[in-house]
């Protein structure tokens, strides 16, 4: 048997459901390019498990960035009817620390931590005979999960799937959506690029969401339960357009990927994320790190690098490489202990004398530093 | 009185009278001081310290010679290396303390980070095309002679250091310099030209009158004497010394410790001289009671009465190796009239202060002697500046080795001037 086959055999045994409270580790198994700046990352637990979630739900991840652990939410884009893996589909955000780290460093074998699933943005929570899915950019992910679930069952549906993108080249899941539309009775797709940019012979509509466009792709939109996800301006425009055209606001659902916005619109969802993060963080103790010369004390979690955490809290410490190579950040421990993983920036002799490198050390107790 | 201020160094050298001290300008002129650095200190092998100055990986010592600053360090493989202490970015000095311990060498200015093998590891903001491999620290020639560190700042270093190392190896080995530690170091600034410091060291004519402590263990006769000008007691002493040398050399050489004189002070570029000298009274060490100062003997030595192995190098060092400790001296010119004399006392690396040795007993003879010599150097320099100074004659008996030092110096200068 080949490795893949052996692996498949393990998955076909009786599987327990994945429980992030028992084991929150996920391992990347595949990375797929969707567009020039969107990638899908497929994960499974270290031991085969089944994922149980409603399409549209998300996971809260903790990524071990070089600067320390960072939390972000990502919607599961894969189908819950294919429960052996979960996939997230991530768009690069210019200068975004996490999305870029995922694109540049997450590869098969990379372990991440995740908790969930959580979230209320699922058509399951408000069943309706007809749907209008409105998606913009990376907001396609929850709607894709729902569509894939329908497609996996194969029963006729009434879904109009609208995806707004900058150019045809930015349409995520283009081929797969077209395939679903061909095979699933009642599933229609309307791609809406803003401009033709790059693709010669684009035959479909161009521009932004408008009354004319709606009249064209879903003349019965007033009867449809609307599920909208995308950039804030996109969702704002969609919502006011529908309102102005007399669509019943009770049939309108949206989800924001901006966590602050999500928190104000859907406090219960945000609370769920924060609770989960807090539970996660509670497992990791937080220590007081005091810098005697600066006269400042900061809180540093046992899984954070002291220098990065101090900087986040406004304490400026001299440093250069921030990876334990140059020794610029060297400081003396007055009391307490740390867990240091340097790259030669400090000598054993110096460590014996109580020196350490805050850039690559995590606290193991409260700490007093002569700085 | 000779007016030498307008005469070129070449002409001064040409008219130098053998057997006489140098003309005034050699001791006082800035021009000749600068020339000394170029012709001697930047071209020949200079003694700068010992391997135990950098005992562990990452230990760094800075030695400044004139406008040059040199890093001597032990790399991660335990290898000793020397580099110019100059950042390849904008030239800042990298290490500032005489002794330190580092993980990497990091220039404080812009944090260019070098590995201990001199490779540039990291330079932020230099762009993707920047080739770090062309910007490593510049190496300096380094030769460890049984643990004594010599550097040479010339592009091409005199090759005869290898011969020196080969000849000196058997003499130095028993004292196991690499297995010692620096128990004490004193930096003394003498108010005189560096050549005056060296000349002072190369004779013991002045010993009886100035060194009450040193002459307890050390015989003044070890560096020559004139039999006819001595009274009966002195003649008897000198004879006793000569018999002692004969006996002890036979004894030492017989048990595998080379002791006989080798003198290449002025017949080669890397000039040196060695001889194992008897020690008076208890015969053990250069201490006030002539007994060992450290009860932990060096290396594999089991016999305390090993005399004092004297080793000199041109232009800037002398050393005394005893059974229990080593005293090493390095001379570095600072200005025409200021000279650094750096003295280090080494004991067995496992010797514990207060248990195996007492620091005061270990160091008191040479602290007193250096102090006395420093005063004498100052006396000579202040007199040499005077308009009345003119070169005086060396004693053919007790100042022959001074003449050899001066002769070597003049040969090196002549060689440089071409
Ligand atoms: C419920 C939910 C589901 C989501 N699902 C998806 C999905 O399926 N696909 C998807 O691509 N995205 C999704 N997101 C968005 C995702 O969580 C990230 O916000 C997005 O990937 C960008 O993250 P980032 O770290 O790269 O940039 P951001 O965090 O957005 O950063 C943007 C800018 O803010 C600054 N910034 C923000 N936080 C920090 C910080 N901690 N430290 C320093 N600078 C900071 C950065 O300078 C950057 O320029 C979802 C969000 C939510 C709330
Ligand atoms: S900043 Fe370079 S070692 Fe910490
Ligand atoms: Fe003297």
Residue-wise pLDDT for B79-92, tens only, equals 999 999 999 999 99
Query: How far A347 CA lies from chain B's nearest CA (Å)?
Result: 5
Q: Do A349 and B122 touch (CB under 8 A)?
A: no
Average pLDDT on B389-409 reads 97
Whether the upstream peptide bond of residue B29 has omega within 30° of 0, thus cis, is no
Query: How far A324 CA lies from chain B's nearest CA (Å)?
Result: 10
Q: Residue B30, SS3?
A: helix
Q: Which tokens is B115 given?
A: 């590995």
SS (H, E, C) B307-343: CEEEEEECCCEEEEECCCEEEEEEEEEEECCEEEEEE
Would you say A337 and A365 are in contact if contact means Cβ atoms under 8 Å apart? Answer: yes
- Output the pLDDT for position A346: 92
Helix axes A140-153, A174-183, angle to 10 degrees: 30
- Output the pLDDT for position A3: 86
Do A294 and A324 reside in the same domain of the chain? yes
Q: Which atom of ligand 1 is nearest to the CA of A94?
A: 49
Do A41 and A111 reside in the same domain of the chain? yes
Do A201 and A302 reside in the same domain of the chain? no
Q: Best residue in B54, B78, B104 to probe A by mutation, most A CBs within 10 Å?
A: B104
Average pLDDT on A50-61 reads 96
Residue A196, C-beta contacts closer than 8 angstroms, at least 6 positions apart: A167, A168, A202, A206
> If you count residue pairs, one on A and one on B, with CB atoms under 8 Å apart, how many are there?
44
Q: How far is CA B68 from CA A74, B65, B75, in A?
A: 60, 5, 21
Q: Which atom of ligand 1 is nearest to the CA of A70?
A: 41
Any ligand 1 atom below 6 A from CB of A93: yes
Is the predicted pLDDT of residue A1 greater than 60, yes or no? no
Find the A315 Cα to ligand 2 centroid distance in Å: 16
Residue A216's Cβ-count burial label (10 Å; 0-12, 13-18, 19+) is exposed
Is the predicted pLDDT of residue B357 greater than 80, yes or no? yes
Domain encompassing residue A324: 286-370
Classify residue A270: in a domain, yes or no.
no
Q: Which atom of ligand 2 is nearest to the CA of A324?
A: 3
> Closest residue of B to A319, CA-based?
B111
Classify residue A268: in a domain, yes or no.
no
- Output the pLDDT for position B250: 94
Would you say B111 and B124 are in contact if contact means Cβ atoms under 8 Å apart? Answer: yes
Rounded-to-integer distance, Cα A293 and Cα A311, Å: 16
Classify residue A4: in a domain, yes or no.
no
Average pLDDT on B45-66 reads 97
Percentage of chain A surpassing pLDDT 70?
A: 99
- Output the pLDDT for position A2: 64
User: Per residue in A329-356, is it b (16+ CB within 10 Å) or e — as a string?
Assistant: bbbebeebebebebbbbbbeebeeeebb
- Output the pLDDT for position A198: 76
Half-sphere exposure of A53 (CA within 13 A, CB side): 34
- In this structure, what is the dihedral angle of CA atoms A318, A322, A323, A326, given to the nearest 10 degrees? -40
Any ligand 2 atom below 6 A from CB of A361: no
Domain final residue pick, A56, A85, A118: A118
Any ligand 2 atom below 6 A from CB of A355: no
Would you say B119 and A325 are in contact if contact means Cβ atoms under 8 Å apart? Answer: no
Is the predicted pLDDT of residue A200 greater than 80, yes or no? no
Find the B224 Cα to ligand 2 centroid distance in Å: 60
- Residue-range domain boundaries for chain B: 46-144, 160-417
Percentage of chain B surpassing pLDDT 90?
A: 91
Find the A315 Cα to ligand 1 centroid distance in Å: 24
Do A110 and A135 reside in the same domain of the chain? no
Q: What is the mean pLDDT of chain B?
A: 95
Rounded-to-integer distance, Cα B104 and Cα B112, Å: 10
Any ligand 1 atom below 6 A from CB of A131: no
Query: How far A130 CA lies from chain B's nearest CA (Å)?
Result: 55
Rounded-to-integer distance, Cα A34 and Cα B43, Å: 67
Do A140 and A193 reside in the same domain of the chain? yes
Domain final residue pick, A97, A118, A139: A118
Q: Name the DSSP letter for residue B22.
A: P
CATH 3.90.380.10 fits B160-417, yes or no: yes
Q: What is the pTM of this model?
A: 0.67
Residues B157-169 have pLDDT tens digits of: 999 999 999 999 9
Helix axes B194-201, B400-417, angle to 10 degrees: 140
Q: Which of B56, B104, B115 shows the shortest C-beta gap to A327?
A: B104
Do A104 and A218 reside in the same domain of the chain? no
- Output the pLDDT for position A266: 85
Q: Which tokens is A316 given?
A: 């400026």
Any ligand 1 atom below 6 A from CB of A72: yes
The CATH number that applies at residue A101 is 2.40.30.10
Say which CATH topology domain B46-144 has: Rieske Iron-sulfur Protein (2.102.10)
Which amino acid residue places its CA nearest to atom 48 of ligand 1? A96
> B interface toward A at CB cutoff 8 Å?
56-58, 76, 101-104, 106, 111, 113, 115, 121-122, 124
| Pocket residue to mutate for ligand 1, from A96, A114, A254, A265, most atoms within 8 A of Cβ | A96
Do A173 and A251 reside in the same domain of the chain? yes
Rounded-to-integer distance, Cα B418 and Cα B414, Å: 6
Identify the CA nearest to B101 among candidates A45, A300, A141, A355. A355
Q: How far is CA B416 from CA A19, A27, A162, B334, in A?
A: 83, 70, 87, 21
Q: Do A347 and B106 touch (CB under 8 A)?
A: no
Q: Which of A325, A347, A350 shows the shortest C-beta gap to B121?
A: A325
Which amino acid residue places its CA nearest to atom 51 of ligand 1? A257
Backbone phi, then psi, for B271, in 5-degree steps?
-75, 140
Query: How far B217 CA lies from chain A's nearest CA (Å)?
Result: 39
Q: Do B102 and A347 touch (CB under 8 A)?
A: yes
Do A224 and A154 reside in the same domain of the chain? yes
Name chain B contacts of A340, Cβ cutoff 8 Å.
Answer: none
Q: Best residue in A319, A327, A342 to probe B by mutation, most B CBs within 10 Å?
A: A327
Is the predicted pLDDT of residue B61 greater than 70, yes or no? yes
Average pLDDT on B62-90 reads 97
Any ligand 2 atom below 6 A from CB of A184: no
Domain final residue pick, A235, A255, A275: A255
What is the 3-state composition of chain A as percent helix, strand, coil, each rounded to the nearest 5? 30, 30, 40
Q: Best residue in A317, A318, A320 to probe B by mutation, most B CBs within 10 Å?
A: A320
DSSP string, B174-199: GG-GGGEEEEEEEEEEESS-HHHHHH
B5: pLDDT confidence band, cut at 50, 70 and 90?
A: low
Q: Which of B56, B57, B104 shows the shortest C-beta gap to A325?
A: B104
Taking a 5 Å cut-off on Cβ, the residues next to ion ligand 3 are B 373
Query: How far A233 CA lies from chain B's nearest CA (Å)?
Result: 37
B248: pLDDT confidence band, cut at 50, 70 and 90?
A: very high
Name chain A contacts of B113, Cβ cutoff 8 Å.
Answer: 320-321, 325-326
Residues in a beta bridge with A63? A70
Is the predicted pLDDT of residue A341 greater than 50, yes or no? yes
Classify residue A269: in a domain, yes or no.
no
Any ligand 1 atom below 6 A from CB of A91: yes
> Closest residue of A to B57, CA-based?
A347
- In this structure, what is the dihedral angle of CA atoms B405, B407, B412, B414, given to the nearest 10 degrees? 160
> Closest residue of B to A345, CA-based?
B103
Residues in a beta bridge with A286? A301
The CATH number that applies at residue A153 is 3.40.50.80
Which amino acid residue places its CA nearest to atom 15 of ligand 1? A257
Residue A261's Cβ-count burial label (10 Å; 0-12, 13-18, 19+) is middle
Kindly identify the ligand whose nearest atom is closest to the C-alpha of B218: 3
Classify residue A341: in a domain, yes or no.
yes
Neighbours of B10 (CB within 10 A): 11
Q: What is the mean pLDDT of chain A?
A: 93
- Output the pLDDT for position B1: 42
Residues B171-198 have pLDDT tens digits of: 999 999 999 999 999 999 999 999 999 9
Q: Please state the ipTM of this predicted complex.
A: 0.71
Average pLDDT on B199-218 reads 95
Any ligand 1 atom below 6 A from CB of A78: no
Any ligand 2 atom below 6 A from CB of A59: no
- Output the pLDDT for position A313: 82
Q: Which of A325, A326, A347 shows the shortest C-beta gap to B58?
A: A347
Q: Which of B101, B115, B124 shows the shortest C-beta gap to A347?
A: B101
Residues A78-135 have pLDDT tens digits of: 999 999 999 999 999 988 889 999 999 999 999 999 998 999 999 998 899 999 999 9
Classify residue A10: in a domain, yes or no.
no
Name chain A contacts of B102, Cβ cutoff 8 Å.
Answer: 327, 347
Is the predicted pLDDT of residue B235 greater than 60, yes or no? yes
Residues A267-283 have pLDDT tens digits of: 888 888 888 887 777 77
Neighbours of B360 (CB within 10 A): 11
Classify residue A265: in a domain, yes or no.
no
Any ligand 2 atom below 6 A from CB of A330: no
Do A135 and A114 reside in the same domain of the chain? no
Q: Which atom of ligand 2 is nearest to the CA of A329?
A: 4
- Output the pLDDT for position B128: 83
Would you say A151 and A184 are in contact if contact means Cβ atoms under 8 Å apart? Answer: yes
Is the predicted pLDDT of residue B2 greater than 70, yes or no? no
B332: pLDDT confidence band, cut at 50, 70 and 90?
A: very high
Q: Name the DSSP letter for residue B82.
A: E
Indicate the number of domains in chain A: 3
Percentage of chain A surpassing pLDDT 90?
A: 75
């Amino acid at each position: 048997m080949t490795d893949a086959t052996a692996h498949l055999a393990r998955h076909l045994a009786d599987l327990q459901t994945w429980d992030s409270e028992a084991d929150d580790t996920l391992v990347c198994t595949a990375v797929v390019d969707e567009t020039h700046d969107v990638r899908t990352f497929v994960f499974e637990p270290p031991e085969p498990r089944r994922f149980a979630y409603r399409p549209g739900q998300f996971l809260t991840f903790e990524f071990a960035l070089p600067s320390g652990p960072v939390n972000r939410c990502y919607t599961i884009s894969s189908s819950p009817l294919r429960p052996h893996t979960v996939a997230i589909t991530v768009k690069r955000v210019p200068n975004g620390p996490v999305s870029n780290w995922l694109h540049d460093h997450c590869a098969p074998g990379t372990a991440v931590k995740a908790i969930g699933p959580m979230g209320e943005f699922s058509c399951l929570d408000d069943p309706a005979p007809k749907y209008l899915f409105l998606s913009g950019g990376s907001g396609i992910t929850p709607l894709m999960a729902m569509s894939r679930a329908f497609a996996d069952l194969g029963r006729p549906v009434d879904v109009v799937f609208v995806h707004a993108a900058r150019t045809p080249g930015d349409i995520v899941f283009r081929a797969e959506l077209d395939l679903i539309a061909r095979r699933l009775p009642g599933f229609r797709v309307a791609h809406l690029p803003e401009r033709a940019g790059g693709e010669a012979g684009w035959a479909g509509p161009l521009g932004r969401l408008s009354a004319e466009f709606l009249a064209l792709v879903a003349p019965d939109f007033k009867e449809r339960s609307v599920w909208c996800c995308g950039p804030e301006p996109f969702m704002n425009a969609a919502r006011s357009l529908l309102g102005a055209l007399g669509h019943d606001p009770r049939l309108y659902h949206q989800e924001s990927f901006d966590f602050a916005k999500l928190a104000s619109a859907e406090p219960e969802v945000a609370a769920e994320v924060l609770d989960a993060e807090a539970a996660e963080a509670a497992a990791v103790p937080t220590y007081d790190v005091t810098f005697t010369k600066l006269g400042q004390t900061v809180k540093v979690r046992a899984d954070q690098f002291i220098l990065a955490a101090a900087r986040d809290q406004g304490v400026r410490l001299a440093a250069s490489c921030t990876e334990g190579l140059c020794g610029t950040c060297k400081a003396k421990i007055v009391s307490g202990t740390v867990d240091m993983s340097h790259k030669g920036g400090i000598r054993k002799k110096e460590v014996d004398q109580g020196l350490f490198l805050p850039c690559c050390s995590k606290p193991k107790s409260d700490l007093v530093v002569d700085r | 009185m000779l007016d030498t201020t307008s005469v070129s160094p070449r002409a001064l050298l040409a008219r130098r009278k053998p057997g006489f001290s140098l003309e005034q300008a050699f001791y006082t002129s800035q021009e000749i001081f600068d020339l000394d650095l170029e012709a001697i200190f930047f071209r020949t092998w200079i003694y700068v310290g010992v391997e135990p100055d950098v005992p562990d990986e990452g230990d760094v010592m800075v030695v400044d010679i004139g406008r040059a600053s040199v890093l001597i360090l032990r790399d991660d493989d335990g290898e000793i290396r020397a580099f110019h202490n100059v950042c390849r970015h904008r030239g800042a000095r990298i290490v500032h303390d005489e002794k330190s311990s580092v993980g990497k060498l990091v220039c404080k200015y812009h944090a260019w980070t070098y590995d201990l093998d001199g490779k540039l590891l990291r330079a932020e903001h230099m762009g993707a095309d920047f080739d770090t491999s062309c910007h490593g620290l510049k190496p300096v020639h380094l030769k460890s002679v049984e643990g004594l560190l010599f550097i040479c700042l010339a592009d091409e270093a005199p090759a005869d250091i290898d011969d020196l190392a080969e000849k000196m190896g058997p003499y130095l080995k028993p004292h196991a310099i690499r297995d010692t530690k620096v128990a004490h170091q004193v930096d003394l600034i003498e108010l005189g030209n560096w050549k005056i410091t060296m000349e002072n060291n190369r004779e013991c004519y002045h010993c009886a009158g100035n060194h009450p402590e040193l002459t307890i263990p050390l015989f003044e006769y070890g560096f020559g004497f004139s039999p006819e000008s001595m009274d009966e007691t002195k003649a008897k002493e000198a004879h006793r010394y000569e018999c002692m040398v004969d006996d002890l050399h036979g004894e030492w050489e017989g048990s595998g410790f080379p002791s006989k004189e080798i003198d290449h002070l002025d017949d080669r570029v890397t000039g040196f001289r060695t001889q194992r000298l008897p020690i008076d009274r208890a015969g053990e060490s250069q201490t006030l009671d002539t007994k060992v100062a450290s009860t932990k003997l060096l290396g594999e030595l089991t016999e305390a009465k090993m005399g004092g192995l004297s080793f000199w190098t041109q232009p800037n060092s002398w050393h005394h190796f005893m059974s229990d400790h080593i005293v090493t001296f390095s001379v570095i010119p600072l200005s025409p009239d200021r000279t650094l004399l750096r003295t280090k006392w080494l004991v067995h690396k496992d010797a514990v202060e207060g248990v195996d040795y007492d620091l005061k007993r270990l160091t008191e003879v040479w602290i007193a002697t250096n102090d006395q010599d420093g005063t004498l150097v100052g006396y000579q320099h202040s007199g040499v500046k005077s308009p009345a100074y003119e070169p005086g004659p060396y004693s053919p008996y007790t100042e022959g080795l001074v003449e050899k030092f001066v002769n070597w110096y003049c040969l090196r200068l002549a060689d440089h001037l071409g």
